[in-house]
Each structure stands twice: as C-alpha cells, then as structure tokens.
Amino acid sequence: MRTTPPTAAVSAVLACIQPDNPELVQRWADALASVGGLYATWDASALAAVARGSLAALRYALDHGATELPVEQARRYVDPPQYRRQPLDEFVLAGLRVEHALRAYVAAQSNVPEVSADAADRVSSVFAGSLLQVVRLREQRLSAGQLLADIGRMLASAPPLISLGRVAGRLAQELGGGCMVLGFDGEGFDRMACHRPGGPEEALWPRHVPSEGLESLADVLEGRPVSLPLAIASDALLQGLRKAGYQHLDARPLLIAGDVIGALLLLEPDEQLLDGRALGHIDALCPLLAAHVALGQSTGELLQADAAITGLLEASPTMMCTLDRQGRLRRTNGHFRRRIGVMDDLGGMPLSWLLHPSWSERFPEQWAAVLEARSGLSGNRVDLISVDGNRLALAIEARWLPDEVSPPRTCLMAFWAIDQFVMRAEADAERIDRLGAFVRDVSHDLRAPLRTAGGYAGIIAEELDGTHPELEDYARRLENSVARMDRMIDGLLRYHTSGRLDTTLEEVSAGWLADEAEGRLEGELAARGLTVVRELAGPPLLGDRDALAAIVSNLLDNAARHSPEGGTIRIVLTAVEPGWANLSVCDEGPGVAEADRERVFKLFETVEGSGGQTGVGLAIVKRAVQAHGGRVNLTEAEGGGACFTARLPTP
C-alpha cells in the first residue's frame, strides 16, 4: 500500500530521518535500552547499529511512499535467533517507545504546527504499519506450528511418493484449491503428487513437462517464488489450468542446498485468496517437501554423497557451515546450531542475520573479501549472537569448495572461538605443564645453593676490599652470574604461565596497559632519561587483562634496554580491520639484524647487544599473543631501531 506524496515542507522535515543522524540514532538506541530484556544484553555500539539499520529501512519506506517495510526487511526482526525467544509484548513495547521518541523528534524540526503534525503523522503511519507487519509475521511463525507438525507426521509415515500425495491433499483442503508437487530433473517438471477436489489429476498436469514450455515459471528455476493471475499466463498448460476453474497460481521453488529440485504449485479458484499468513505457512513447509522430493527422485549415489558431506560437517568439533555466493546458509553442523541455540538447519537464512548487532556494519566488507579470494581466507574476525543474546567472538576460516563452474558456488566456513585458541593447543599446554612442574621443583632445589653461592661471592668481594683486584673482579662476576641464573629460573616460570588465558575475556584500554607498563619501569625510564610517546587511536583490546599487561610490559622493557639515553619510545595502537588492532612498541636503538628477527622470540635466545637479558621476555610476548589468536613480528622502525608489532583482538 502506498501513501500520497508529502508536501515540500513535510518532505524537508522528513529529510532528518537518516541512518547517519547521530542524535536520532541515540534517541532510538535509548528507547530500546529503556525496555530492558533482550536489549539489555546489547552494548551501546550494538544498540546504535540496530538503530541505524532500522532507520535505513524506515527511510526506504518513506522514499517509496509505502506504509510498511519490504518483506525481506521485516523478516530481519522475526527470523534471526535473538528474536525467536523475545516475548511479543517486549517487542511491541520497544516499538511504541521508539515511535514516541521518533514522533517527538520529527515534530520539533519545524516551527509551523501544521507541518510538524503532518510530518509526525506520516512517520507514525509508516512506523505503525511496519510494527503491525512484524507482529503478523511473528504470529505467523507461531501459528504455522500445528500445520508443520501434521505434515511432518504424514511425511514420516509412508514412502516419499505416497506421503507427498497425502500432503498435497491436506494442503488443498487447508487452502481451498488445487495443489501439485513437482520434481525438476534439469530438463523439465515431473508430476510427483497432485490433488484436485472433484476431478482427475491428469487433467491438471501431464506426467512430464519440458521447462522450455513454461516461461511463466522461469523465476521458479532461479529459486524465486511466482505469483500471477492465470488470465495473463502465456503458457498453454497454465491456460489449461484456467479452463479447469482456477484463477490464480502461486508457485514456490523447492530447494536443496540452494539448488532447485522441484516446485510446489497452489491453484486458487478465486483471485489470490492466499494472504501473507497462509503463504508464510507454505514457505515454512517447503524445506520439508524439498527433502522428500529429493528422496523420491535422487539416486543412491546422490543420497550417499549427501550423507557423507553431512557426516563430515557433523564430525567437526568446531562450528561449521556452508554458504552460497549471496552469503546465505546452505548447511550448518550440530556444533554451529548448539552455539547459536537454534536446532533447525537455518538453511536459506543470510549469515548476516546471525551477526551480533555491533558487527552488522563491518561484515559486508569481510564478505566482499571472501568473494574476491580465489581459494579462501583465514584469520578474520566475526561476532555472532546466540538465541540467548550472548556475543560469540569468533575467528573464521573460509574456503571455496572445488566446483565444475567458475566462480565456485559453495563456501565452507569454520569458526574458532577467540577464547578457545588455548584449547586448540591443549597438547602443548599439557607438555608445558609438565615442564613447569619440573621447573618449580628444580628451581626450589637450585635457588637455595645459588643464593648461598651469590652471598658468599658478595662477602668475598667485600672482604678483599681492593687488596686482590683480580680475585675481587672474579667474585663480582660470580655474583652477577648467580643473579642472572636466578632471573632465568624466574623467567622460565613466567613463560610457563604466559600462554594461559582466563576464559572470561574483557575489554582493556591501551591507555591502562601503557600506564601499567610505565609504572613498573618508572625507575629505569627516569634514570636513563627516556620519554614514552603514546599514539593510542585504536579501540580497546579484547583479552586476558594480565596477559595483555605482560605483553606491553615486556615490549616496553625490551625497548628501554636498547634505547640510547635520552631517547624516545613510541607505543602505537591502530585498528587494521574489523575485530583486530596492531599494538606496536618502537625504539631508537641499534635494531636487530634481519637474520636474527625470528630468533629473538625463542626461549633463552639472545643476540649481540642484548645487554645481559635472559632471552625470556620476548618469548613470553610471542606466547601470550598467540594465545589471543594473534601474531607478533619485528621490523625496522622509521629512522632506525626496532619496532615490535602484536596483532590482537578487539571488541
């Protein structure tokens, strides 16, 4: 339904309805937050992202003179997991509060009362129509349950062709018209089931019809539904249906993994009796019908191949899914569905609908990168949302499956929880645990005699008091060696714990990390006249607070040891891509030869000019960064010196 065009003055006021209007976005987000419930589980960035997306949909409806949203837009508030358990009254309350805030904002944009009132009324009309549209879709999802249950029992109680015939009869009775289930073999449509009250099925549809003779159903072969009056159908067969007493045709494609394997035809004796609610029930049934059409027409090899693919996905210990080139889910494995909290397969749903709201504006760029990749992509970050509203911080690996066509049509995507990278290295962790237990025992036995030897060396040096310079120098060197060995033992113990993360990750500001690191090294920095310059323009980091602090402290300690007196150390944080940032610590020292840049991260490895370091600090940095799913590298700083850069996750 369309409305009359607004006047120029009203249009000028309505121009404020934009997704990039920060004040309106904030009012919308505040209205949602005031309701609590589902919206209380979202942070400010997520609420703002939902507000911007909703404003974009509202802007579209206003521009096109509509009184409700396009169905695809409306279903974004119905089908995603987070909305499936949301009470309807909570959603309606949120809508009413948003509409109140929206109306007040629009009315304040003009000093002319008539213009303000007209603009506010127009916004309220579109908003109310859209709200009712979503409520109808939600009720439709609930009321489809009984029909689904009945047809599910029919499909399970008999072989495919018999059960499809029963289903066609039930649908014809339910809808008051004719019903046909067709299979598609790549060349034409085969009649698999047909029900026509009061007449033979052969009079409606032959056993096989080539697709070339059905131009009116061309969209069905592309995976799109068709709804048309039979009076305008050009195909002779469809004209024959009109002569049989039917006025309108609704055709729904039956899809398996995105491929058309058949169609469901609904014939109505009057002009389009089926409303959106009834068609919604039918759409919910189509996946069930598609599965039984496939069973009825597929060969044993096809069924075995399908089962093998499903078995591979289900055997995976990680979240996995397959997607088409439009980013729609084809398959999901059990682990994926359990983490999301939805037990049905979600086939056909865009992956973008499962994103956490705060990630919805970042994903299009990521998916574009996946499409452009010839073989695949790894190391990217994406956040999904579960039915319970929990945020799932994930790293993704995407691979395009080999195909007989180019570009390939199916993308296999695996998801690794950011806080489970340590679990992926469980074998290494157990080995380090055993080493750590050994080191703790040995260090206890070693430290006592070491400290005794160090104490004696100090006493000897003091007693000599310059009388025997060579012996005194030897005693001092012995004392220093004992101290260094003690530091190595302590460093080994710290290395043992550096790869262990708290499973509860938190947002940590880079400013706090820099404060902590400078506080620990305050004396050394001041004694050598070193200046620390911060350039922290990026977002907060996401991880274990203690481990992140160890990363920054060890990098700053390393930079301080190698900087010239009076030098400058730079700590820089930069957002590089959605979900990741680079944290760099750069000094003005002599730098590290390119041949040694990998070696400096190994435990107990030192290079020339290391200043008596134990070779533990940078090993701790690498281990802690890897535990967060990132990586660390060493390059030459601008103007000389070393620059260490750690890639770390962000919210």
Please report, for residues 258, 306, 338, 349, the alpha-carbon distance to residue 324 in angstroms, rounded to integers and kept in the order given: 7, 16, 22, 11
Neighbours of 79 (CB within 10 A): 19
Q: How far is CA 208 from CA 102, 227, 250, in A?
A: 56, 22, 20
Candidate from 237-246, 303-312, 509-518 with smallest mean pLDDT: 303-312
Reading the block at residue 174, the tokens are 């339910």
Q: Is the peptide bond before 407 cis (omega within 30 degrees of 0)?
A: yes
What are the DSSP calls for 283-346, one per residue? HHHHHHHHHHHHHHH--HHHHHHHHHHHHHHHH-SSEEEEE-TTSBEEEE-HHHHHHHT--S--
If one counts every other C-beta atom within 10 angstroms of the C-beta of residue 142, the result is 9
Mean pLDDT, all residues of the chain: 77
Beta carbons within 8 Å of 60's beta carbon, 6+ residues apart: 66, 69, 70, 73
Inform me whether the pLDDT recorded for 29 exceeds 90. yes
Same domain, 317 and 179: no
Question: Looking at residue 39, what DSSP letter applies?
Answer: G
Q: What's the rounded Cα separation, in Å, for the pair 172 and 161?
A: 17
Band of pLDDT at residue 405, cut at 50, 70 and 90: low
pLDDT tops 50 at residue 116: yes
Alpha-carbon distance of 414 to 398, in angstroms, equals 6
Sorting pLDDT into bands at 50, 70 and 90, what band is 24? very high
Type of residue numbered 468: H
- What pLDDT score does 301 carry? 45
Among candidate residues 400, 424, 448, the one where a domain is terminated: 424
- Reported as a pLDDT band with limits 50, 70 and 90, residue 31 is very high
- Whether residue 472 is contained in a domain is answered as no
* 150 belongs to a structural domain: no
The residue whose two tokens read 């002009």 is 271
CB atoms within 10 A of CB 639: 7
- 120 and 139 in a single domain? The answer is yes
Residue 213 lies in a domain: yes
Distance CA 480, CA 233 (A): 96
Per-residue model confidence (pLDDT) at position 300:
43
Residues 6+ apart with CB under 8 A from 143: 277, 281
**CATH number, domain containing residue 262:** 3.30.450.40
Residues 6 or more apart in contact with residue 467 via CB below 8 angstroms: none
Res 192: pLDDT: 84
The verdict on 170 and 35 lying in the same domain is no
128 and 187 inside one domain: no
Give how far the C-alpha of residue 72 lies from the chain's centroid of Cα atoms, to the nearest Å. 20
Residue 457 lies in a domain: no
Range of the domain at 68: 8-145
Query: In whole angstroms, what separates CA 532 from the centre of its chain?
Result: 37
pLDDT at 34 (0 to 100): 92
Residues above pLDDT 90, as percent of the chain: 6
Q: For 475-494, what is the mean pLDDT?
A: 57
**28 pLDDT higher than 90:** yes
Q: Are residues 330 and 283 in the same domain?
A: no
* Mean pLDDT, rounded, for 453-474: 61
> Alpha-carbon distance 549 to 505, whole Å?
13
Q: 283 with 307, same domain? A: no
Query: Quick one: tokens of 352?
Result: 């973008």
Question: Element (H or E) spanning 148, and its range?
Answer: helix 113-156
Q: 2 in a domain, yes or no? A: no
Domain of 386, CATH number, reads 3.30.450.20
- Give the count of domains, the chain: 4
Q: What confidence category does residue 61 fall into, taking pLDDT thresholds of 50, 70 and 90? A: confident
Q: What is the mean pLDDT of residues 579-584?
A: 88
* The domain boundary residue, chosen from 298, 326, 341: 298
Q: Where are the alpha helices (DSSP H) in 176-299?
A: 218-221, 236-243, 276-297
Nearest-Å Rg of the Cα atoms of the chain is 34
Q: ∠ CA 567-573-576 to the nearest 5 degrees?
A: 135
CATH code at position 598: 3.30.565.10
What pLDDT is attached to residue 544? 80
Same domain, 243 and 262: yes
Looking at 117, 145, 173, the residue that finishes a domain is: 145
Q: 205 and 117, same structural domain?
A: no
Range name among 269-273, 457-461, 495-499 with the lowest pLDDT average: 495-499
Residue 521 lies in a domain: yes
Write down the pLDDT at residue 610.
Answer: 47
Distance CA 222, CA 532 (A): 61
Which of 43-52, 148-157, 443-452, 498-507 shows the highest mean pLDDT?
Answer: 43-52
More confident residue, 76 or 433: 76
110 and 27 in a common domain: yes
The stretch 85-110 carries a mean pLDDT of: 87
pLDDT at 284 over 60: yes
235 and 137 housed in the same domain: no
* Domain assignment present for 219: yes
Give the residue, 643 or 245, on which the prediction is more confident: 643
Range 307-328 average pLDDT: 79
For the cut 90, the answer to whether the pLDDT of residue 436 exceeds it is: no
Task: Return the closest-CA partner of residue 343 out of 357, 333, 356, 330.
Answer: 333
Tell me what the mean pLDDT of segment 252-269 comes to: 85
Give the tokens for residue 375.
Answer: 């073989």
Mean pLDDT of all residues in 254-275: 77
Give residue-wise pLDDT tens across range 602-633: 755 555 554 445 456 677 788 788 777 788 88
Please state whether the predicted TM-score (pTM) of the whole model is above 0.85: no
How far apart (Å, rounded) are the C-alpha atoms in residues 125 and 119?
Answer: 10
Question: What pLDDT is recorded for position 22?
Answer: 92
User: Does residue 453 lie in a domain region?
Assistant: no
Evaluate the CA torsion angle 390, 395, 396, 397 in order and state its sign: negative
Pairing of strands 259-268, 319-323: unpaired
Average pLDDT over residues 401-409: 68
Residues 137 and 162 occupy one common structural domain? no
The residue-averaged pLDDT of 210-226 equals: 82
pLDDT at 74 over 80: yes
pLDDT at 230: 78
pLDDT at 425: 43
In a shared domain, residues 208 and 349: no
Which pair of structure tokens corresponds to residue 458? 């100090």
